[in-house]
Structure 1
Amino acid sequence: MLHDPTQTRPTGARPVKRVVIVDDSRAIRAWLRQLLQQDPRLLVVGEAHDAQSAREVIKQTNPDVLTLDVQMPGMSGLAFLERLMSLHPMPVVMVSASTENGSDTAIQALSLGAVDCIVKPGHAGQSLPARDIARRVYAAACSQYQPILKRPALRSAVPPDVSEQNGPIVLIGASTGGVSALETVLSDMDYNGPPTVIVQHMPRAFLVSFAKLLDRNVPHDVGMVDDRVPLRAGQVRLAPEMGRQTELTRRNGLWQGHLRDDVERGLHCPSVDALFCSAAPYGHDVIAVILTGLGQDGTEGLRLLHRSGAHTIGQDAASSVVYGMPKSAWEAGVIDQQLPVQDIGQAINAAVMAHSRRRRCQ
């Protein structure tokens, strides 16, 4: 189904981003069309109910961004996405139910190169406000498509000389485009290096699925932050989104995650700033990384960490799907190294080794 742009935008309006909606549900297509066209920066130019009709609509309209249902009759959304990314790569936002199967498939889609994922309405009250959905679709339309980087084979790397007692920690913040970026970074990090804690902006229904995907694809022990046990070498832990923020403390020389209620009700939960700010008292033992994402979350935390002696790394513009969070931190002057995503894992390893050398000299 095609839409006439002249019926929805006045003559002389500023350039807009063209959207095609692909979903087998007429009600969901109508819901998305209505809320997206409330944003003057977006214009829905077509709709499709399955993969075959989607191909035709895309050819006819040449959209800037596609919203794609995860589960469709015939060719699934995942299979269509994989084919689309190989033949006609473009920014895609997945639209998913918050079921276990839907979440797993959505995470696979993000790993294949989809930019973002939003939750359908009526599922556990997790659908975002209309303005936030429109903002994320617009951000995806403005994003840079990044080809999926070939992952290095899992290897028996020589573990770095890292002592758990008073050893370093790696903290990573990411948002839009972060699934693929995190896979790339973690695949290059030493498997028995210091504990790593990640804040990835993502609906809570998808975080457990994302942790499982990482646990399969990278050589680390990946799971969710558990404030009952200390963090250990070789572990990667994701901050859970359950109305609680993740902070760090040290107990008997070991790093400990702490989950607290999100009483401030900030823009993000989990928040990169909340994690980074909590680690500022231990800055000399922190390696902090900010990856692709929309907005400024993480800049204030990096400011405090940088001031207290942390080593800070930001993803560069060329490799970021959305150069928002790393740009904000770079322009604030709180990034020591700005690198392509494929170089960040090795830069973390080098920073860990430099930390070990400093410790031995003290």
Structure 2
Amino acid sequence: MEKIRVLVVDDSAFMRKVISDILTSDPAIEVIDRARNGLECMEKVKQLDPDVVTLDIEMPVMNGLEALEQLMLQTPVPVVMLSSLTKEGADATIRALEYGAIDFVTKPSGPISLDINKVADGIIERVKAAAQMKGRLKRHTLFNRLQMHKRPAPKSPPVANESRPAVSGHPPSPTIRETRTNGSLQKLVALGTSTGGPKALQTVLSAIPDTFPAPIVIVQHMPAGFTKSLAQRLDSLSAIRVTEVTDGQLIEPGTAYIAPGGYHFEVHQVNGQLRAHLHLQDPRSGHRPSVDVLFESVSRLTNVDKWAIIMTGMGNDGTKGLKQMKETGRVTSIIEDESTCVVYGMPRAAIQAGLADNVVPLDKIAEKLCMLLN
């Protein structure tokens, strides 16, 4: 079997050396070269055609974000970002995932992390996963470019005491009080995604109108410190409100709630209201937050119309939870089609388990969801 050919890019000679040593400790990986900045990275990608690039964000001459954007335009290649766990680092990481990076690894202690070996397994795991995506990356990058032209204008600041206007001629959705007093069931959409999820969430959430009549509860596999930046970015691009959920928060229509990294997210019924419950129980299949944990909590809700969405991601998180939802009540599922998945793991597991009611390409999921709810 041919080895995975990796280009390591970092402005620190120490970091280039130690990251290379980590990667070459795995017999399936070889480091074919190193680069000191984004400009060198672009030149060497053209010359060497690596299978994967590990890319630092903070570099002179041309930083990682600038290099990534140019790579995806000129010579698409699977990229794993190396990120700093700061507010600025988290914001840049979310932007990198939006530009087309496959995944990221957090440097434990800043740009020059003497303890980088703490995340050695994560670096190797993500590089191996990224290498499997080289074949479909050009098609997926083309899809992302098409989506860029559909991006909505940034959200305008809300005006006090002004109701949101209806979209496409539809009447405004009822308020929570109206929904509960007119005898209709509450509605809830539960969504799970992993690798490739930030970009996929942008595609879906930015296409949902502000009159959407249900809340959307979301698990995106992501470590602590990054989900708040993700929520803020998605909120700025979406007509509906997007927020990182807090414990005990009321779950309301027209809002998407993203589980904070490192916490399981459940939805409970409290005096007829839907509220968030966060906890630190053991990871499920290596994940916290876990899609299965969220879906299982939704399965226990009564007098609620439910929809479940599973999108791009490695593994099978969400399949057990969706199965429980199907066994305990009526739920309609939407599964992302293989043609648009960055990683066809979680969707494939749900389809193979016979749990897919609708298999839909990413750019049609919002349209299908709105149609089903209406």
TM-score bin, normalised by smaller chain: 0.7 to 0.9
Task: Report what 2:210 is aligned to.
Answer: 191
Quick one: percent identity of the two aligned structures? 37
Once the 2 structures are TM-superposed, how far is the Cα of residue 192 of structure 1 from its aligned partner?
Answer: 2.9
Q: In structure 2, how many angstroms separate the alpha carbons of the residues matched to 1:227 and 1:205?
A: 16
Show CA shifts across 1:157-204 (max 9, x none): 236756643411111111111111000011122323211111111121
Partner residue, 2:157: none
* Contact map agreement 2:333 2:357 (CA 8 A) in 1: yes
The answer to whether structure 1 residue 341 and structure 2 residue 362 are counterparts is yes
CA contact (8 A) 2:335 2:360 kept: yes
Q: Which residue of 2 aligns with 1:153?
A: 152
- C-alpha deviation, 1:53, in angstroms: 1.7
For residues 200 and 359 of structure 2, what CA distance do their matches in structure 1 show? 14
The Cα of 1:100 is off from its aligned counterpart by 1.1
Structure 1 position 89 matched with structure 2 position 88: no
Are 1:98 and 2:85 counterparts?
Answer: yes
CA contact (8 A) 1:230 1:255 kept: yes
CA gap of 1:299–1:241, structure 2 versus 1, over 3 A, is same
Measure how far apart 1:288 and its partner are: 0.7
2:48 to 61, 73, 97: 61
Query: Which one of 103, 128, 131 corresponds to residue 138 of structure 1?
Result: 128
Contact 2:283 2:290 in 1 (8 A): no
Q: What is the aligned partner in structure 2 of residue 281 from structure 1? A: 300
| Alpha-carbon distance in 2 for matches of 1:286, 1:130 | 40
For the residue of structure 2 that corresponds to 1:117, the secondary structure is strand
TM-score (normalizing by structure 1): 0.87
Judged with a 3 Å threshold, the aligned counterparts in structure 2 of structure 1 residues 231 and 127 are, in CA distance, closer, same or farther, namely farther
Q: Aligned with 1:267: secondary structure?
A: coil
**Helix, strand or coil for the counterpart of 2:334?**
strand
2:322 matched to which residue of 1? 302
Question: Does the CA-based 8 Å contact 1:21-1:46 persist in structure 2?
Answer: yes
Which residue matches 1:321?
342
| Aligned-residue offset at 1:266 | 4.6
Q: In the alignment, is the contact (CA less than 8 A) between 2:224 and 2:261 conserved in 1?
A: yes
SS for the counterpart of 2:186 is coil
Write the distance in 2 (CA, Å) between the matches of 1:337 and 1:127: 43
Unaligned runs of 5+ in 1: 1-13, 354-362
Q: Equivalent residues in 2 for 1:157-172 (5 A)? A: 157=167, 158=170, 161=173, 164=176, 165=180, 166-172=185-191
Code of the aligned partner of 2:248: R
Among candidates 209, 233, 238, match of residue 218 of structure 1 = 238
Distance of aligned partners of 1:276 and 1:128 in 2 relative to their CA distance in 1, 3 Å threshold: farther
Distance 1:259 1:112 in 2: 30
Instruction: State the shift of 1:127 in Å.
Output: 8.1
Separation in 2, partners of 1:70, 1:182: 23
1:45-101 superposed Cα distances (whole Å, 9 cap, x missing partner): 111011222123212221111111111112111111111111111211111111111
Between the aligned partners of 1:223 and 1:238, the Cα distance in structure 2 is: 6
Structure 2 residue aligned with 1:360: none
Equivalent of residue 245 in structure 1, options 264, 269, 274: 264
Q: Does structure 1 conserve the Cα–Cα contact (< 8 Å) formed by 2:285 and 2:317?
A: no
Residue 80 of structure 1 corresponds to which residue in structure 2? Answer: 67
Secondary structure at the residue paired with 2:338? coil
Letter in 2 for 1:109: A
Cα separation, 2, equivalents of 1:70 and 1:255: 40
Give the structure-2-normalised TM-score: 0.85
Q: Distance in 2 between matches of 1:95 and 1:73?
A: 15
Aligned-residue Cα RMSD (Å) equals 2.2
Contact 2:269 2:275 (8 Å CA) reproduced:
yes
State which drifts further: 168-177 or 114-123.
114-123
Residues 1:35 and 1:96: Cα distance change in structure 2 (over 3 Å): same
- Offset at residue 253 of structure 1 (A): 3.0
Number of residue pairs the alignment of both structures matches: 339
How far apart are the structure 2 equivalents of 1:329 and 1:115?
Answer: 22
The one-letter amino acid of 2:276's match is: G
Moved over 6 A (4+): 124-128
SS in 2 for 1:136: helix
1:37-48 map, 5 Å: 37-48=24-35
Partner letter of residue 347 of structure 2? Answer: P
User: Which position in structure 1 is the counterpart of 2:201?
Assistant: 182
- For structure 2, the residue ranges without an aligned partner over 5 or more in a row are 154-164
Provide Cα deviations, 1:242-297, integer angstroms capped at 9, x if missing partner: 4x311111223322111122245650011111101111123862111111111111
Cα distance in 2 for partners of 1:306, 1:167 equals: 18
d(CA) in 2 for partners of 1:264 and 1:23? Answer: 32
* Aligned 8 A contact 1:65 1:141 in 2: yes
Output the CA distance in 2 between the equivalents of 1:323 and 1:331. Answer: 12
In the other structure, the counterpart of 2:159 is: none
1:49 — aligned with what?
36
Match of 1:256 among 266, 275, 285: 275
